[in-house]
Structure 1
Amino acid sequence: MNKYNNIKLPVDTQKELASKFRELRKDKKYSQTLLAQKSGVSLGSIKRFENTSQISLESLLKLANLFNRLDDFDLVFKIDTELKVVEKLFTR
């Protein structure tokens, strides 16, 4: 969030994801090395994600899949069909 308002910025979401990921990894007692071996994501990418919040989408999805969290992405860019129905009522 920037210092002048409460608007969430992309970098805030990145930091939150990295923090949640680190917490989940530690909760499951996975070392970064073991996680790299199991997920197919390089150790460097995992370290970079946890330290700088930078990761490719492909690597993020591989990590999410390893933790059975791939379904969490179903809501990203979801089209609100109920809203479209209401919009149709007003455009006729």
Structure 2
Amino acid sequence: MLLKTIDEVDKDLAKRVRYQRKKRGYTQIQFASKCNVPYGTYKKFEQTGEISLSGLTKIAAALDMAEEIDNLFARKAYSSIDEVVKDYEKYEKTGRIY
């Protein structure tokens, strides 16, 4: 269950990206260029947290974090057959795995 609003999640993500940008020593203009995102779009993202998924993916790639975006809705990795059986039984009862 999410305890933040969507707006708060967006703004917190933008703050974390800003921190990573500054840590790497980029200005907004330099980083936007590195990401291949228009400067105005990037600036708005840092201010509001609003950006397209494509823009966010480009930013993640520039920060060497594209794998995190790629794994957002990935299937659960099981470590044993027992976990698979348990989830299947749960699915049989509730219609949901997660």
Match of 2:64 in 1: 68
Distance 2:44 2:61 in 1: 19
Output the TM-score relative to the length of structure 2: 0.75
Give the unaligned 5+ runs of structure 1. 1-5
Call closer, same or farther: CA 1:81–1:36 in 2, change over 3 Å.
closer
Q: Which amino acid aligns with 2:57?
A: L
Match of 1:77 in 2: 73
Q: Identity of aligned pairs, percent? A: 30
Q: Which amino acid aligns with 1:40?
A: N
Output the TM-score relative to the length of structure 1: 0.79
Shift of 1:38: 1.6
Q: Tell me the matched-pair count.
A: 87
Call closer, same or farther: CA 1:31–1:52 in 2, change over 3 Å.
same
Distance 2:46 2:68 in 1: 19
Give the unaligned 5+ runs of structure 2. 94-98
Q: Are 2:47 and 1:51 equivalent residues in the alignment?
A: yes
Distance 2:73 2:7 in 1: 18
The CA RMSD measured in Å over matched residues stands at: 2.2
SS at match of 2:50: coil
